[in-house]
């Protein structure tokens, strides 16, 4: 008489639990998720086309505005690629200043995600308290670079601003305060009843799954893979600084958040070492090169969310020929749909937030071709194409 | 069950709310001096090389012909910035070969058409607050004297009911003390504690 | 301009109520009888706790702190309801149990009513 169907719930592009537009279609039996599909594409801005149309110097500033939270690492990757194509090296003081700005950004991005996770499980008070402490890091960024969010401090061949002694004292004082607060947060993560019940054993990612689906960043490091570009291919000043790659074995949401909190402590140590070892010298080259000769280069950098890759192709001239951006959230978020199956409906936002989705960084068009047959798609077919 | 946030909760009762209500409490916000704010050109130094207009990422600078006839600028071309397109990246400031740009840290660039509501409210509010604080502190002292007398009676009173009565009155008075300190500091949690204190006094009686 | 002086005058009122409270407590200390002390205590409560809370909530509304103002109004209302019931209950209990004797006594109406009925 009655046909048994399962209800399909869209956690749609506009939803109060999400911070950015993404469509999750979940097939639900009672409270348990049976099947899920992710589709994205609501935030595509055509950034790669913009990078092709502008000159080298203008496209630096465009690449900084791909993402708001990780803007310094995008600029670092692009400028690093251009410098290696040209064959020039920035002066050592510029490398140290770039490192300090990138580590400050890592601290504030991880604190933001911890606050968002506290809000998702319902602990609104902790959200407000963590955001209050994050304001101090934003003040430090304002002091060093000139703006609270967008640190437009990179230029081809160096940096634009310098750090003097009075700023160093302020930075060290605020960092001591934040270090003590991060220890309090770790104590809350270990002892609090809400965190234990909602984060432990939720969204288990095994080591094989992480290797097979190429997860990067803290989700991979929480499953037992010590993959960190700062240690594998050191760039900027990381080859002269001493830090530890944070890794855990458990693989659930709790260990992903603990990896991020441990990384904040490591970043504070890195900034202290860099400030004490700042070399003297100039901070930029005398003239800015405007024409890049022919060649191509791949540059990789460790963003707060994982590994960020830029592939730059130049055919001489004053504009790049093709720039391809591959952000870490691209594979991290698209691989979460198999993890939802078997969990209850209330675990879905917790798993999604623990992978740190940055959807506006992520939107690119990826075409996968069959082996030897080229396929031609019209614009109408391209707009209807769905991943299987 | 471990209460790991107890110390945090207790210090937050006597603290003001964290959000700063922006135009009214302007003096709580501190901006560093080198914040990237409004920038404009010193016309006596500009040579008209147009590097800033060529390099601006959002094409916000227009070189216009202004007949000033200063010796430094043979073509009489000066840069005018369109602030609605500018992203404040300060590339123009960095790349100018004669350092002709003047920088400020003024970020309040929205033109207000009502008559300067922010400054008006800020001045009024600060004058009132200072006067009010002195007088309320005087009343606070007088209240504490009376609470001390009442506690003396609680300890050495003639009968039991006297002690109960004076304890009640002491509790009501101390709730008023809490309310006054709450208003002086500006914290809302203290005002809510007064209600709790009064209810407790009643239940005790 | 005028709202500056309004807050000034209201704060002066709060000092006045503090003085009323002090006078009430002095009376509490010096009266010989429990029931007279009860009266001094109620003067002290209403003039020294209820009235200044009202004034303070008006000050809070002028200073645009609306949450504080509403909660102080609520506390003033609670004191208005709860303190007389407390004092009534105390007076009845001490009379029944004969804990406090009304010392300089003129006439006791309740005893006459009990004797006649």
Per-residue pLDDT tens over the stretch C56-112: 888 888 877 788 888 888 888 888 888 888 888 888 887 787 776 777 777 777 777
- Note whether B touches C: 3 CB pairs or more under 8 A: yes
Domain limits, chain C: 2-101
Residue B69 confidence (pLDDT): 82
- Do the Cβ atoms of A61 and B91 come within 8 Å? yes
What average pLDDT does this structure show over A18-46? 87
Contacts of residue A265, defined as CB under 8 A and 6 or more positions apart, other chains included, come to A179, A182
- Do the Cβ atoms of B4 and A187 come within 8 Å? yes
pLDDT digits (tens, 9 = 90+) for A74-85: 999 999 999 999
Task: Specify whether B79 is located in the same domain as B142.
Answer: no
Residues from chain C contacting residue B186 (CB–CB below 8 Å):
65
Structure-block tokens of residue A96: 């140290």
Q: Tell me if B14 is assigned to some domain.
A: no
What is the predicted ipTM?
Answer: 0.83
Task: Specify whether B88 is located in the same domain as B122.
Answer: no
Question: Any idea of the CA torsion for A16, A17, A21, A27, to the nearest 10 degrees?
Answer: -110
Query: Measured between alpha carbons, how far is C60 from C55 in angstroms, rounded to an integer?
Result: 9
CATH assignment of A47-332, among 1.10.3720.10, 3.90.1150.10, 1.10.645.10, 3.30.360.10? 1.10.645.10
- Do the Cβ atoms of C53 and B205 come within 8 Å? no
Structure-block tokens of residue B147: 């609470």
Query: Measured between alpha carbons, how far is A48 from A363 in angstroms, rounded to an integer?
Result: 10
Q: Tell me if B159 is assigned to some domain.
A: yes
Domain that holds residue B76: 39-103
Lowest mean pLDDT among A79-93, A304-318, B136-150: B136-150
Segment holding A129, helix H or strand E? helix A124-145
Residue with the two structure tokens 């203008």: A58
Q: State the count of interchain CB pairs (< 8 A) between B and C.
A: 151
Structure-block tokens of residue B108: 């309040």
Lowest mean pLDDT among A184-193, A208-217, C12-21: C12-21
Residue A312 confidence (pLDDT): 93
- Does B35 contact chain A (CB < 8 Å)? yes
What average pLDDT does this structure show over B10-17? 76
Q: Tell me if B109 is assigned to some domain.
A: no
- Does A54 contact chain B (CB < 8 Å)? yes
Closest CA relative to residue A60, chosen from A152, A150, A146, A141: A152
Residues 52-91 of C with CB under 8 A from B: 52-53, 56, 59-60, 62-65, 67-68, 71-72, 74-75, 78-79, 82-83, 86-87, 89-90
- Do the Cβ atoms of A155 and B88 come within 8 Å? no
Cα A235 versus chain centre, distance: 17
Residue with the two structure tokens 């008489």: A1
Segment holding A312, helix H or strand E? strand A306-314
Q: Helix, strand or coil for residue A3? A: coil
- Do the Cβ atoms of A152 and B90 come within 8 Å? yes
Residue with the two structure tokens 């070969």: B97
B50: alpha, beta or left, given left = phi > 0 and alpha = psi -120 to 50?
left
CB-closest option in C44, C72, C89 to B169: C44
CA torsion sign for A234, A238, A239, A244 is negative
Lowest mean pLDDT among A97-106, A151-160, A306-315, B68-77: B68-77
Structure-block tokens of residue B6: 């107890």
- List phi, psi (to 5°) of A182: -65, -30
Share of chain B above pLDDT 90, in %: 20
| Total domains, chain B | 2
- Do the Cβ atoms of C26 and B160 come within 8 Å? no
Query: Measured between alpha carbons, how far is A91 from A102 in angstroms, rounded to an integer?
Result: 17
- Are the CB atoms for A159 and A97 separated by under 8 Å? yes
- Does B20 contact chain A (CB < 8 Å)? no
Does the pLDDT value for residue A387 go beyond 70? no
Residue C55 confidence (pLDDT): 85
CB-closest option in B153, B162, B179 to C34: B162
Residue C37 confidence (pLDDT): 80
Query: Measured between alpha carbons, how far is A353 from A72 in angstroms, rounded to an integer?
Result: 22
Task: Specify whether B129 is located in the same domain as B162.
Answer: yes
Does the pLDDT value for residue B1 go beyond 70? no
Question: Any idea of the CA torsion for A72, A78, A82, A85, to the nearest 10 degrees?
Answer: 130
Residue B25 confidence (pLDDT): 59
Q: Which residue has the higher pLDDT, C37 or A275?
A: A275
- Do the Cβ atoms of A191 and B90 come within 8 Å? no
- Do the Cβ atoms of A188 and B91 come within 8 Å? no
Chain A contact partners (≥3 CB pairs within 8 A):
B
Chain B contact partners (≥3 CB pairs within 8 A):
A, C
Structure-block tokens of residue A274: 């860099």
Q: Residue by residue, what is the 3-state secondary structure of A180-222? A: HHHHHHHHHHHHCHHHHHHHCCCCCCCHHHHHHCCCCCHHHHC
Q: Which residue has the higher pLDDT, B201 or B120?
A: B201
Residue B26 confidence (pLDDT): 60
Closest CA relative to residue C87, chosen from C22, C28, C4: C28
Q: pTM of the entire structure?
A: 0.79
CATH code, domain with B90: 3.30.70.3270
Residue A317 confidence (pLDDT): 86
Residue with the two structure tokens 């960024």: A141
Residue A298 confidence (pLDDT): 92
Q: Tell me if B195 is assigned to some domain.
A: yes
Model confidence band, residue A369 (pLDDT cutoffs 50, 70, 90):
low
CB-closest option in C4, C67, C93 to B188: C67
- Are the CB atoms for A23 and A39 separated by under 8 Å? yes
- Do the Cβ atoms of B87 and A125 come within 8 Å? no
Share of chain A above pLDDT 70, in %: 94
- List phi, psi (to 5°) of A312: -115, 125
- Are the CB atoms for A333 and A357 separated by under 8 Å? yes
Task: Specify whether B126 is located in the same domain as B79.
Answer: no
Structure-block tokens of residue B113: 């058409």
Mean pLDDT for chain A? 89
Closest CA relative to residue A105, chosen from A236, A196, A4: A236
Does the pLDDT value for residue A49 go beyond 60? yes
Residue B102 confidence (pLDDT): 92
Residue B148 confidence (pLDDT): 79
pLDDT digits (tens, 9 = 90+) for A347-366: 998 999 999 888 888 877 76
């Amino acid at each position: 008489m009655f046909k048994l169907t399962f209800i399909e719930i869209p956690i749609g592009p506009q939803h109060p639990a999400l911070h950015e537009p993404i469509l999750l279609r979940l097939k639900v039996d009672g409270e348990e998720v049976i099947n899920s599909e992710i589709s994205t594409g609501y935030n595509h801005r055509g950034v790669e086309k913009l990078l092709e149309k502008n000159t080298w110097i203008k496209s630096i500033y465009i690449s900084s505005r791909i993402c708001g939270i990780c803007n310094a690492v995008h600029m670092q990757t692009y400028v690093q690629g251009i410098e290696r194509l040209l064959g020039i090296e920035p002066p050592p003081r510029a490398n140290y200043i770039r490192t300090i700005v990138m580590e400050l950004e890592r601290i504030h991005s991880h604190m933001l995600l911890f606050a968002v996770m506290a809000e998702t499980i319902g602990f609104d008070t902790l959200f407000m308290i963590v955001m209050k402490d994050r304001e101090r890091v934003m003040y430090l960024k304002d002091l060093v670079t000139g703006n609270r969010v967008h640190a437009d401090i990179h230029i081809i061949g160096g940096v634009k601003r310098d750090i003097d002694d009075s700023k160093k004292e302020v930075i060290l004082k605020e960092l001591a305060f934040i270090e003590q607060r991060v220890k309090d947060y770790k104590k809350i993560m270990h002892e609090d009843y809400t965190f234990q019940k909602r984060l432990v054993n939720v969204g288990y990612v095994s080591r094989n799954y992480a290797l097979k689906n190429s997860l990067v960043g803290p989700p991979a490091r929480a499953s037992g893979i010590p993959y960190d570009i700062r240690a594998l291919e050191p760039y900027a000043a990381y080859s002269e600084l001493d830090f530890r790659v944070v890794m855990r074995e458990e693989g659930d949401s709790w260990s992903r958040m603990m990896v991020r909190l441990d990384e904040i402590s490591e970043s504070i140590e890195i900034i202290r070492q860099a400030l004490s070892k700042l070399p003297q010298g100039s901070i930029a080259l005398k003239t800015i090169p405007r024409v890049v000769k022919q060649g191509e280069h791949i540059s990789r950098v460790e963003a707060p969310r994982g590994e960020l890759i830029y592939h730059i192709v130049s055919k001489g001239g004053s504009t790049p020929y093709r720039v391809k951006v591959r952000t870490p959230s691209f594979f991290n978020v698209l691989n979460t749909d198999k993890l939802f199956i078997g969990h209850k409906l209330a675990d879905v936002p917790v798993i999604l937030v623990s992978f740190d989705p940055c959807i506006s960084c992520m939107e690119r068009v990826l075409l996968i071709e069959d082996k030897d047959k080229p396929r031609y798609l019209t614009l109408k077919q391209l707009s209807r194409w769905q991943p299987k | 069950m471990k209460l790991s946030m107890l110390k945090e909760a207790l210090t937050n009762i006597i603290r003001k709310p964290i959000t700063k209500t922006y135009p009214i409490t302007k003096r709580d916000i501190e901006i560093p001096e080198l914040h990237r704010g409004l920038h404009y050109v010193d016309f006596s130094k500009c040579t008209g090389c147009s590097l800033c207009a060529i390099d601006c990422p959002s094409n916000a600078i227009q070189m216009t012909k202004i007949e000033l006839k200063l010796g430094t600028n043979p073509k009489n071309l000066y840069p005018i910035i369109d602030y609605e397109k500018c992203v404040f990246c300060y590339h123009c400031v960095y790349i100018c070969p004669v350092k002709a740009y003047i920088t400020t840290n003024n970020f309040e660039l929205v033109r207000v058409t009502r008559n300067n509501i922010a400054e008006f409210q800020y001045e009024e509010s600060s004058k009132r607050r200072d006067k009010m604080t002195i007088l309320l502190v005087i009343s606070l002292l007088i209240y504490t004297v009376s609470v001390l007398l009442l506690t003396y009676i609680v300890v050495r009173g003639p009968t039991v009911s006297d002690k109960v009565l004076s304890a009640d009155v002491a509790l009501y008075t101390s709730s008023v003390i809490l309310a006054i300190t709450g208003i002086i500091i500006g914290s809302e949690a203290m005002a809510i504690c007064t209600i709790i204190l009064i209810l407790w006094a009643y239940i005790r009686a | 301009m005028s709202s500056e002086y309004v807050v000034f005058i209201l704060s002066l009122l709060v000092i006045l109520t503090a003085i009323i409270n002090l006078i009430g407590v002095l009376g509490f200390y010096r009266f010989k009888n429990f029931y007279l002390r009860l009266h001094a205590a109620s003067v002290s409560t209403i003039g020294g706790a209820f009235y200044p809370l009202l004034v303070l909530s008006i000050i809070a509304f002028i200073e645009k702190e609306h949450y504080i103002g509403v909660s102080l109004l609520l506390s003033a209302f609670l004191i208005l309801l709860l303190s007389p019931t407390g004092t009534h209950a105390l007076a009845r209990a001490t009379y029944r149990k004969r804990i406090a004797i009304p010392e300089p006594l003129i006439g006791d109406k309740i005893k006459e009513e009990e004797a006649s009925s």
